[in-house]
Structure 1
């Protein structure tokens, strides 16, 4: 047998997002769509040169205000008081979601309470003395005694604004082995090294039934990448999650660029009562487009996955890219109107606000982020 043909045979036997040949520059996983484009270190340098030349503030800015104070951020993103009574008594026939900040949501569905990409730390960084700093505090803390028991965590990928070591350790300390962590392939060992044992790895489209319930958790594809250090690029998988109850369904997109897979998600697993879709961290488009959708694309994703209603995430918390921190919520309102969607179809709520939805009907009116231009 010609051994030189072995890599090709291995590639053909693997799913298209798996790689047979692994190097430090190309990990075990990849994006299988033509919409994906790699970004190099020279691209990062180019972006940094451009933002310095344009005078883009790296610690966050608002429309009409390039030097906002803490008071300015507080006015732009008022923190809603968490309705802990509602969290303690979630509706049995609805999906209830509370936005904690960034991509962290507390979601309740058919008797289960779970968190998405929990980050409660001050900074999304390998260290807490430098790196992107919160402009809005989390809606509650892990050790708040009013917080209901959390059954599961849905962890989309290992970037520092989604996989936060301090938050993982705090949640593990409070809930221990009763808390189940659903993660993409290649991430379980990271948790095991930190004493977290109840971890379930999933591949794209793979499902697991949550113990003691009939709710299924499925990892769905996303166009993104993973890395904690330069030598772990794409060493673990990334994705979103569908939570499939007997009557209600929820979908969390994770981090993603626009790709042709979202219609497949809608056809296979939808429609969803509620979807959590990222709308921020999209500028400059020449750099961010393959990995982060913008508000217009987010609206298209909402339609593709057959979401009856959607809640915005990945915005108004950390300054990661070049757009004003209040721009995504403003553009989202415009884009939903352009798409001829109702005003409740896709909303950006305040940090701490709770949204309840069932069968395409919003059961409450959560406080929403201001979308007026800053003076």
Structure 2
């Protein structure tokens, strides 16, 4: 009996070592700097009112999941959007929805892409993890020359390193990240990076700037890098109208500050999915009702939904965000777009 116990112990210990080794190998390097309002010298912090979920609560969710229905679509099932223009040089904004949180933003003669994800899974592994359920709406080879890439945080459904390396090789743009996320990109051969803290600004040229703004979320790619890098939204400011990209976020009072500090927000890109169950997802993912409230808080002229319909990340099914959103949106100028669809927002 003692021999059996020792064998079981050794097997379990070896398994734990392997898991820890994998967890360490995929963890991202962390930011180092002086403590600040959102950094305690070791990890980043959300604002007042945030309640972090524990490992115990994570296990509870994983053991009691009731995932909704998804239907996988292949390239044969969809129609790709038409190839975008090379540049938009007039006073309009052209916003193209690629998928999930990926938008091509074209304005002021500048091309910007947000959280680009073209991989088939959002995971450290090619054989496991959340699987793509529909193709991107714009073919990768149809993307125009890219000048800037905005990365909201380091989760796999927002920082897809394979896609970023492809973009770097073909377009060689500047990558703008929250604090510390740049270190992982640098490790992976992407050197043209700029990192920003909340409320910091990067000047693109005399008429365009990009600022990082507060979001309520968390960061990690492995077992040993929880909250070691920052998460953020972004505001693109220009004479053609300000554009707000929310990234991934829960709801809090800072949205009113964004609306005040960057008024008027002409176009906003706001998440609506991965919100069920609320007891677990609520602190880090807004639901459609909260997304609508963000639209109102920031005073957006037009808002476009994102972060739904591509990857099954929570228990909401493919159609849940759409159905819940349509039930409450009313006459608000907040829309959902199909992958590959674009919207021209004119400067009236």
Match of 1:166 in 2: 162
How far apart in 2 are the matches of 1:219 and 1:108? 19
In the alignment, which residue of structure 2 is the partner of 1:271?
A: 264
Is 1:154 aligned to 2:150, yes or no?
yes
Q: Which residue of 2 aligns with 1:44?
A: 58
TM-score w.r.t. the length of structure 1 is: 0.80
Change beyond 3 A, Cα 1:118–1:296: same
Gaps in structure 1 of 5+ consecutive residues: 1-12, 63-67, 362-375
Q: Which residue in 1 is equivalent to 2:195?
A: 201
* Residue 313 of structure 1, CA deviation: 0.5
Change over 3 Å in CA distance of 1:154–1:271 after alignment to 2:
same
Change (3 A) 1:329 1:87: farther
**Inter-partner Cα distance in structure 1 for 2:336 and 2:75:** 16
Contact 1:312-1:347 within 8 A present in 2 as well: yes
Instruction: Specify the SS of the correspondent of 1:319.
Output: coil
1:316-350 Cα shifts (integer Å, max 9, x gaps): 0000111111111122122211xx42xxx111111
Whether the 8 Å contact between 2:146 and 2:171 is mirrored in structure 1 is yes
In 2, Cα distance between equivalents of 1:249 and 1:79: 32
- Identify the residue that residue 171 of structure 2 maps to in structure 1: 175
Q: 1:61 aligns with which of 50, 65, 69?
A: 69
Structure 2 length as normaliser, TM-score? Answer: 0.86
The answer for the alignment partner of 2:26 in structure 1 is none
Q: CA RMSD in A?
A: 1.9
Does the aligned pair in 1 maintain the 2:96–2:103 contact within 8 Å?
yes
The whole-number CA distance in structure 2 between the counterparts of 1:102 and 1:94 is 24
Inter-CA distance 209–238: structure 2 relative to 1 (3 Å threshold): same
Unaligned runs of 5+ in 2: 1-33
Compute the displacement of 1:358 (Å): 2.8
2:294 to 292, 296, 301: 301
Contact kept, 8 Å, 1:102 with 1:314, in 2: the verdict is: yes
Aligned counterparts, 1:1-375, within 5 A? 14-20=35-41, 22=42, 27=43, 29-34=44-49, 36-51=50-65, 56-57=66-67, 61-62=69-70, 68=71, 70=72, 79-84=78-83, 86-90=84-88, 92-142=90-140, 144=141, 146-176=142-172, 179-210=173-204, 212=205, 214-337=207-330, 340-341=331-332, 345-359=333-347
Runs of 4+ deviating beyond 6 Å: none
